[in-house]
Structure 1
């Protein structure tokens, strides 16, 4: 542990508190001394006073971030300004403590900071082992959720096991099936795609298993069918929960026997295919509702892969948007090369019900209908251009929902007859309970409430500085 404090008595006090927690403590009296030590030594965390003789603690934070040092910093100051706290957090501080500080609060906060440092080190190790990929096959994104998907695909691809891809519409289920095929031993074979929802149910059997000329009215020529066409490769059955239950039994028989009999033909042919299927519905719920055969479900649901919605992919949104912008600008002969910070902020706030497909369509529309070097907020449609909530607005509706959802578990005394107060008062009480329960730590309270620390800082600032 490194303590940066220019007042000797306070430095000795912090050292004593931390040594009681079994931390090995070194001290520095200036920012320059601290930066020199941090350059040559590795510390689990940093206790940093804001007012130093040669520079501010915030300057120290800036210098650390500029050289890529991610040591967790706990900032201490006599100035209790919320603006200063927010500024420190933006510059990378783990937490902010106001003097005179409580010994227990300092010990708990520093322990939490070292725990976060440990977790970050574990994540870095996993990224080295798994590969911190900016993309995989034709996927784009390096978020933890997508790294999990990439890992499952890599592990599943070499086998012949059936894969069931789940996810909301627009999350990239066909892309996932294609990635499985490309990284499998069947990559040199055909990849055949069939959308079970896009084909009338009376024609779907023919599309899958084929037919011979004259097998039914309109069958003017032979059709090989997807099951035979995919021999030696992969057959992707998209939206499989839309398949008629009578046809499901024939698909199950094909999976068990690998034999295909085209409509109107007596001859039986064998086809060695690997099945990947997908649905935006819950297949088990479809089984329980009687719309999907249970035996077929267990035959198909061998390796499940669940694709995350775009709203849960963090910075992947910016990476995807930039990739689409670059591609469409080149296709349309436009000069667009970047998205403004406000546009990226608006995109991160949006819920993206249509997921990646919706983002891709939006970027094409923006490129086609506008001109300029960068995408600006005025170019966005109103539903995405919704303004960032101000401090007085105190957070988003989604944040409020999460805070209120967490409130009963912290209240401990909820009763159906208890009077209900104004919404903002209820939210404030929930936040205050969380802060109390976390020993005054804003980041820990934010974790309990499943919101970001900046959300709580904005709300606290709004309460302390109400609009006039």
Structure 2
């Protein structure tokens, strides 16, 4: 999710937050409401829609003052709180809530550039935090953890995720040989207990692949817990993975089970595994060897039954070679490798993805579209799509939201796609930075950043080091271009 996009989906100009709730599972009888405090109307609508679709009762507020009134009136024990509110500091609001009801579980939401605020919030008693951009799985998983329930898997796009074991052959849209191999591999490995290591560029669907493995396994009725090792500060990651006991450090006001214990009986998905700190890699290796977890501050370990699926957008063996990833952990995890191919290597799969996305988003937005003009599909097949499937979904969502319907033509494509349209997939051996003369500095900047990302397999931290930029700056630039890393 980011400042203009729904979880796991794409940027969109959201309707007024007072719009009718999205149809979904009936609220659980007797369930206490969730309180969402978010001042951006479009984000408020999107977050509420996702939560209601998952069966939650949601109360919303746009300011700190309104949020405190709702908090006192509703009896909510789970609060989603944006730290940037127009009338008061979110941390002050959280402290007041915890003073009134210490059992309240607050999930704070912050921007990538404000990660230190998230750390401060955790130390002040927050139950969890979400750093934009985050996806629907992480969002619902955090809410389910806070509510003490089994996490709800994100509602799958049509044909994108296999939700039943017998549907394993229809895991992803696309009939290219590369995707058929991935589908066959998932079908073969889903029923086993083997650890799966998924590689691929950002936006290729690594988490969807992990979800499909979980859905096709005997553990499908158990929890699916996703943890992004690159999005959590290293000083909080051990607590996020293994949990902590009340009083084990400043701000630990209650016991927290951690992702490994929460996934007991199900699947633990560790995304961006190569970003994990070396000290925690040692503890993860011990966990894999013993199947026990020991929360921070605990005296005795606890046995858990968890299947591990991990992923990275880097070359894991290169990380081993550079001393950034333990070799023994690599061999322990790299049992069944699955590589998610980039969209540029999948032929006309982009056409199938675009058509399915157009149908889905039009239905969600109540619009009627008549497919794509041939020249649009031809352009889609020639583009490099550095953001892969995620970027395609962003583009289609933009089209659906900003146009009433009809056939999609070239003039309906978002402006962010125009620089990409001017530089389609280069021929083998071609210099991706050719043709700079005559372009604006903004276009050249984007070309250099995208070429650097492509050269480093989509790794934002690695590209940031090469470009001498902070990762948060690079994330913001990608977000402004409609590319979710």
TM-score interval, smaller chain: 0.5 to 0.7
1:279 alignment counterpart: 312
Query: Is 1:237 aligned to 2:270, yes or no?
Result: yes
Q: Quote the offset at 1:150 in angstroms.
A: 0.7
Structure showing greater radius of gyration is: 1
Q: Secondary structure at the match of 1:337?
A: strand
- Equivalent pair of 1:134/1:141 in contact (CA under 8 Å): no
- Equivalent pair of 2:199/2:339 in contact (CA under 8 Å): yes
- Equivalent pair of 1:210/1:226 in contact (CA under 8 Å): yes
| Separation in 1, partners of 2:304, 2:287 | 9
2:355 alignment counterpart: 322
- Equivalent pair of 2:168/2:186 in contact (CA under 8 Å): no
1:300 alignment counterpart: 333
Query: Is 1:335 aligned to 2:376, yes or no?
Result: no
Q: Which runs of 5+ in 1 are unaligned?
A: 1-132, 390-394, 405-468
Q: Secondary structure at the match of 1:398?
A: coil
| Alpha carbons of structure 1 residues 191 and 175: separation in structure 2 relative to 1, 3 Å | same
| Separation in 2, partners of 1:329, 1:291 | 45
The equivalences for 1:162-181 within 5 A come to 162-181=195-214
The equivalences for 1:47-446 within 5 A come to 136-381=169-414, 384=417, 398-399=426-427, 401=428
| Separation in 1, partners of 2:425, 2:359 | 33
| Separation in 1, partners of 2:380, 2:271 | 29
- Equivalent pair of 2:383/2:420 in contact (CA under 8 Å): no
| Alpha carbons of structure 1 residues 137 and 244: separation in structure 2 relative to 1, 3 Å | farther
Q: Using structure 2 for the length normalisation, give the TM-score.
A: 0.52
| Alpha carbons of structure 1 residues 385 and 285: separation in structure 2 relative to 1, 3 Å | same
- Equivalent pair of 1:157/1:183 in contact (CA under 8 Å): yes
Q: Secondary structure at the match of 1:285?
A: helix
| Alpha carbons of structure 1 residues 224 and 383: separation in structure 2 relative to 1, 3 Å | closer
| Separation in 2, partners of 1:220, 1:397 | 53
- Equivalent pair of 1:193/1:238 in contact (CA under 8 Å): yes
- Equivalent pair of 2:245/2:255 in contact (CA under 8 Å): yes
Q: Quote the offset at 1:397 in angstroms.
A: 7.2
| Separation in 1, partners of 2:168, 2:398 | 24
| Alpha carbons of structure 1 residues 370 and 160: separation in structure 2 relative to 1, 3 Å | same
Q: Quote the offset at 1:372 in angstroms.
A: 2.6
- Equivalent pair of 1:366/1:380 in contact (CA under 8 Å): yes
| Separation in 2, partners of 1:384, 1:135 | 33
| Separation in 1, partners of 2:266, 2:420 | 49
| Separation in 1, partners of 2:317, 2:415 | 38
Q: Secondary structure at the match of 1:357?
A: helix
- Equivalent pair of 2:203/2:387 in contact (CA under 8 Å): yes
Q: Secondary structure at the match of 1:214?
A: coil
- Equivalent pair of 1:346/1:385 in contact (CA under 8 Å): no
| Separation in 1, partners of 2:281, 2:425 | 43
- Equivalent pair of 2:168/2:212 in contact (CA under 8 Å): no
Q: Quote the offset at 1:384 in angstroms.
A: 4.1
| Separation in 2, partners of 1:403, 1:210 | 50
1:411 alignment counterpart: none
Q: Secondary structure at the match of 2:300?
A: coil
| Alpha carbons of structure 1 residues 293 and 381: separation in structure 2 relative to 1, 3 Å | same
Q: Quote the offset at 1:313 in angstroms.
A: 1.0
Q: Using structure 1 for the length normalisation, give the TM-score.
A: 0.54
Question: Deviation per CA, 1:74-93, whole angstroms, max 9, x where unpaired?
Answer: xxxxxxxxxxxxxxxxxxxx
Q: Which runs of 5+ in 2 are unaligned?
A: 1-165, 432-485
- Equivalent pair of 1:350/1:384 in contact (CA under 8 Å): no
| Alpha carbons of structure 1 residues 296 and 371: separation in structure 2 relative to 1, 3 Å | same
- Equivalent pair of 2:320/2:330 in contact (CA under 8 Å): yes
| Alpha carbons of structure 1 residues 183 and 254: separation in structure 2 relative to 1, 3 Å | same
